[in-house]
Amino acid sequence: MSTADIPEGTVRNILEQDTLKWVFVGGKGGVGKTTCSSILSILLAQVRSSVLIISTDPAHNLSDVFQQRFTKTPTLVNGFSNLYAMEVDPNVENDDIGGNEGVDSLFSELSNAIPGIDEAMSFAEMLKLVQTMGYSCIVFDTAPTGHTLRLLQLPSTLEKGLQKVMSLKSKFGGLISQMTRLFGLDDEFGEEAILGRLESMKDVIEKVNKQFKDPDLTTFVCVCIPEFLSLYETERLVQELAKVEIDTHNVIINQVLYDEEDVESKLLKARMRMQKKYLDQFYMLYDDFNITKLPLLPQEVTGVESLKAFSRNFISPYQPSTSRGTLEDVERRISTLKLQLEDTEAELDRHRKGKQKV
């Protein structure tokens, strides 16, 4: 089926789904995830009471896109009354998590014993903090695909790890109590303190894990560009999301070249033909998805005003220029073509005279 036969998609379905709590935006590196997640958060802020956008990519770009400094504390975005942003590193140290030194040292040992649980526990603490803030919707600007998939698996990783630890309670609970009494440690490092913290974290993780797998509460937006590697990475991402039971029904294809009436470059024409081949494949693979195409621009989209201006392409399909312009534009174009023709004729004349001399 040709792309011309398929109606253009938008992200209106996400804006209209007022039950959504978590919106993840991800894809291959360099496809424009941060720009897309920022614009999504701006659009959501227009229909929601409060929105938080979180960057979980260690190479944070939110500050660059909004042209405003963000930290690990939610900060109100300039020009908004209900849009907040924060940049966090999922691999935070135990010092950032906070808590009793003795308990933290035990958690450090625990993280070494169960692969991936350290990152999972940091993620859990961040989600626990976010949930207490009462935001209507939370948008995640995620790291490139591999890191994102691991991040989405963290709730399950932690849930399994904590179940394993809790199952050892009957075997080692008494031993912990005896050791704390023997060394004269206070109740803060006792069995109840440790198990209480584990139980609290387990409750948060079970709740989040359940929410992530609920399509009414969570969705994942795949961002890509019309090239082979990005198509391959998107398919891998969609397959992995299906495995972890996370809903996804939106694909944003960025940096699309449109056949504008004034495009004459052979390179651009060749790139358009290549892109069309992969666009057809995207539509074939994801015929039941909302596919939004975004144009490649001659400049970067940074700053709130630029983001707002570009956001119109998210809610109504981009329309390439097909008009021939004003009479002055046509006359200017004819004049340029005449000059090109004169130059070509002069060059041809020189070649003919050169052959006659020989």
Cα 191 to Cα 180: distance, rounded to the nearest angstrom:
8
30 is in an annotated binding site: yes
- Among this protein's residues, is 57 annotated catalytic? yes
| Nearest Cα to Cα of residue 262 among 314, 219, 321 | 321
Amino acid residing at 176? I
Of the candidates 18, 57, 141, 187, the residue annotated as catalytic is 57
CA distances from 303 to 1, 42, 149, 254 (A): 38, 12, 29, 18
342 is in an annotated binding site: no
| Nearest Cα to Cα of residue 195 among 164, 157, 169, 163 | 169
328 is in an annotated binding site: no
338 is in an annotated binding site: no
| Nearest Cα to Cα of residue 137 among 20, 38, 311 | 20
Q: Integer distance in angstroms from the first to the last C-alpha of the chain? A: 58
102 is in an annotated binding site: no
128 is in an annotated binding site: no
Q: Give the 3-state secondary structure of residue 50.
A: coil
Cα 344 to Cα 128: distance, rounded to the nearest angstrom:
70
146 is in an annotated binding site: no
148 is in an annotated binding site: no
User: What is the SS3 assignment for 212-280?
Assistant: HCCCCCEEEEEEECCCHHHHHHHHHHHHHHHHCCCCCCEEEEEEECCCCCCCCCHHHHHHHHHHHHHHH
What letter does residue 117 receive in the DSSP assignment?
H
27 is in an annotated binding site: no
164 is in an annotated binding site: no
Residue ranges at the known binding site for ATP: 28-35, 227, 254
Residues making up the annotated binding site are: 28-35, 227, 254
Positions marked catalytic? 57
